[in-house]
Every structure is written in structure tokens, then in C-alpha cells.
Amino acid sequence: MTTETFRCWAEISTSALRHNVRAVRDRIGSAELLAVVKANAYGHGMIGIAETIGDVVDLFGVANLEEAIALRAAVPHPIIILGPALPQEVPEIVARKFVPTISSFEEAEQFNRAASSEKVPVNFKVDTGMGRMGAPEPDALTVFRKIATLSQLHIHSVSTHMPVSNEDTEYTRSQLQRFRAVLKNLRSEVPGDYKAHVLQSAGTLAFADPVFDIVRAGVMLYGISPLPEHQSVLQPVLTWKTRVGLVREMPAGSSISYGRTFIAPRPMRVGTITAGYADGYPRHLSNRDASMLIRGQRCALLGRVTMDLMVIDLSALPDVAAGEEVVLMGQQNGAEIPCSELADRAETITWEIITRIGARVRRVLVN
């Protein structure tokens, strides 16, 4: 099948992706680059993304064992599982030589017991303010000392996570200082070759001094800056497209979509397009001045988003016919609907917009 037969698809620009990797490299120098490809590479298609940048990154990060298994089929790199492991997942994580993230001595013991002849590499997480994983900051050294006594573990890395790096500069700088102090104590009390990682996308853009040993680049790889002032550094990777499925002439007074929330104020030419909230287009964009692009011209969304279809205003484009391409997000003929616009109008965040793009939306690699 080619894109001519697709009803809804996402074009993934490999050149933009590699541009963004270079932008990360420019900021982190000799530090290792951990490409975060969890949640289907933030909706961009994990396998295609990993294969495209496998030659220019050092390791990959995923959310869970299932993602790690799928990724291992495509790349040989070290894979860090960034979320906590379920107890029943421990033996397979060990057998497949993934790097689990642990927060407690109890978790460490599980991996130590499951080890065979080879030591299990682990990422030790410290909670410096995120509150969802990690050894509590005051207890980190005590927990770390105990973990270091386990004979079948090898400490691969020490990490933390920044909760407000795109919102609160003062807190983030304080957090980085506290983590550096924790890390200094760990390395003093328990020497080793383990590496440290803290910076994610916002941190890489705004707080990359120092960068530590590894940088976890996520959303910025896909060309979306969590800090608007840095957006010009990046190139959006994904263009989300669909098609006009039907063109109709609607008399004044006609109602459109569920709830009759839009009544045509005049005779209107409208297009029914072949995508909806089952494809990931936010239902919250209903009646919020959302637009789509046809031939580089904005066409307003009319009424409510439905599961498989939406209706747009074609009054300014009298010769558009069924089958024509529609851009839901991205660029077309010099015009653009950025991810940030969809997020703002839907009152959500860019991460949610891209990660909710549905499984039936084809991901197509383009240059």
C-alpha cells in the first residue's frame, strides 16, 4: 500500500529526526545520548525511529518490559527500562539483559536473586522531587550502600528526574545542586564506574551545565521543545495527515455532528474527513476554533469530533474533491499547524497530543 490509499497516516521525517539528534549532540558534548523511545517513540513509531538513529545514539530508554522486548528485535544497544518492574517481570528482564531502574533495596534483592552467572546492571534512582520513583533523597546513601553489597548486581548508573524544568527555574537549579551533592557522597562512599543522568529535553535545552555522563533526550528528538523559546533549534518530525472523504453542500440552518453544536449560519460547502478521536485527534478540540490545512489554507473544524470522522468548512475552496490530502498537524505549502497549537486549544500538553495518535494511523518514514 502507498499513502495514496491511506485514510489517516503520519509522515515521519528522518532528516528532521537526525537534525534534532545533532542539536542534542551540540549541547551535550561527549556525554552519552540516551534516546527515549517509550510510548511508541512518543507516537512516532518506535522501531522506525530506533533504526533511523541507532548509529548516532548510545543507548535507548523505554517505559516497561514489553517495550524493551519489541525494541530489542530492532537494535543491539543497551536498553534502560525507566519505569519500575513488576515482580513477575524480574526473571525475564535479567534473562534478556535489560537495565532495570530500581528505587529500593527490596527491588535490588529481587534482581540479585534472579541473576545467574552474569551480574545484572541496574539504574539506581534517587527521588529529588518527582515523587513517583526513587530512593528518598535523605535515605539515598544508606540504600545505595546496601545495594552495593549485593554480589550479583552491577550499578550501571544513578539518576533522578526533574518535575518542573520547564516551569520553575529556581527549583530546578536547587534540585540539580542537591543531586550533585548526593552523587558526590555516593561516589565517595561507594566508588565505581557507574554513570549519572538527570537531564531530559527541557534540562538539555536550559540546564546543560553540567550535563553529567548521560543525557535522556525525549520529546526534543521529535522536534517539539518543552520550552517555546528553544523551538527554533528543532525541526518537527511528524506530519499528521488524513483525507477528504466526502464533499457536501449544506443549506443554512443545517446542523453538523453530535449534539447539533454547530448550525450553519449560511449555505456552506463542507468536507467530511476520514479521521476522528479513534485516530487520536482530541475530542476536546470540538468547537474550539481548531483548523486543518488543505492546499496550505486553514479550514475550520465544524461541530464535534466523532470517532472516525470530522467535518470541516470548505467554503473557501470550491474545487476541493474527495480524496484530497488534509493536514491535521504539521506543515503544508508554507502554512503550519504546530503540535503546540493543538495542545493549547485542547487544554493539554504536547506530549499527550503525539502519544495519543492511534495505532491505526500508519507511520510512514520519509526523508
Angle at 202 between CA 196 and CA 207, to 5 degrees: 60
Distance CA 60, CA 15 (A): 20
What is d(CA 238, CA 241) in angstroms, rounded to the nearest whole number? 10
What is the DSSP track for 123-191?
A: EEEEESS--SSSEEGGGHHHHHHHHHT-TTEEEEEEE---SSTTT-HHHHHHHHHHHHHHHHHHHHHS-
70 SS3 class? helix
Report which DSSP code applies to 305: -
The amino acid present at 80, given as its one-letter code, is: I
Mean of pLDDT values over 2-14: 91
Query: Which of the residues are catalytic?
Result: 38, 258
pLDDT digits (tens, 9 = 90+) for 259-269: 999 999 999 99
Q: How confident is the model at residue 326 (pLDDT cuts 50, 70, 90)?
A: very high
Q: What is the CATH number of domain 238-366?
A: 2.40.37.10
Domain boundaries for CATH 2.40.37.10 within the chain: 238-366
| Sequence-ordered strand ranges (E) for 254-359 | 255-256, 262-263, 268-273, 291-294, 297-302, 310-313, 325-332, 335-337
pLDDT (average), residues 9-35: 97
pLDDT of residue 171: 97
Residue-wise pLDDT for 153-191, tens only, equals 999 999 999 999 999 999 999 999 999 999 999 999 999
pLDDT band at 2 (very low <50, low <70, confident <90, very high): low
14-225 folds as: TIM Barrel (3.20.20)
Neighbours of 209 (CB within 10 A): 8
Residue 1 has what pLDDT? 55
Q: Is residue 229's pLDDT more than 90?
A: yes
> What is the total residue count of the chain?
367
In the block, residue with C-alpha cell 532495570:
100
pLDDT attached to residue 4: 80
**Average of per-residue pLDDT across 304-311:** 98
For residues 61 and 28, the answer to whether their CB atoms sit within 8 Å is no
Q: How far apart are CA 263 and CA 253, in angstroms?
A: 6
CB 99 within 8 A of CB 78: yes
User: Which residue ranges does the chain devote to CATH 3.20.20.10?
Assistant: 14-225
Mean pLDDT of the chain: 97
Mean pLDDT within 23-29: 97
Q: Which amino acid is present at 9?
A: W
